[in-house]
Structure 1
């Protein structure tokens, strides 16, 4: 019997924008830079438990597709991160992708995930 495809991950809707700390503001800059360098659909950045930051852009290849947030989380984990303090996604979308959200939640149940427009304006924050 063929397997049915896995259901699409929910797309969390951000609440009102949170006041960004200086550290979270840096994540917005890093995410915008990652997106802009390669003209990607999305850019993302995360900060781990030691204050180290990781930035990434979305990847879309015939054999591999990753959201920017998935790649940023994977980079952090590959460098030894065990917990995330915060994350930012820069995108034109109005909601956070479910796969990126799940990747962050694998390392932090309560880390804020800020959603920002390409100009850096924070549109909202997901905290659940």
Structure 2
């Protein structure tokens, strides 16, 4: 009878269990082949709100469709992976003016945390 009650009213997974599973999944994301090898390329770090010295730097786009501060799609080519930053740092609206490499006439606003600096590429 007690076992029956425990089975029916025993501990149930709560939000903490889901949080642990999500955290564990993020930790294991950096491994391939069942956790045997560390991935060579780490996830890029998004820009910070207080970051400066960005003017002229190349940035990797971290999202499929970059947006501005009100979540409207940025005026950039579909599938763009790299942009040139025009501002020294994010403005009060949390955006940066950027343009595609090789096309300085196509300026768009993109939220700062959708971009990461390209450390391995030369500055534009």
TM-score scaled to structure 1, two decimals? 0.26
Structure with bigger gyration radius: 2
Structure number having the greater strand percentage = 1
Structure number having the greater helix percentage = 1
TM-score scaled to structure 2, two decimals? 0.27
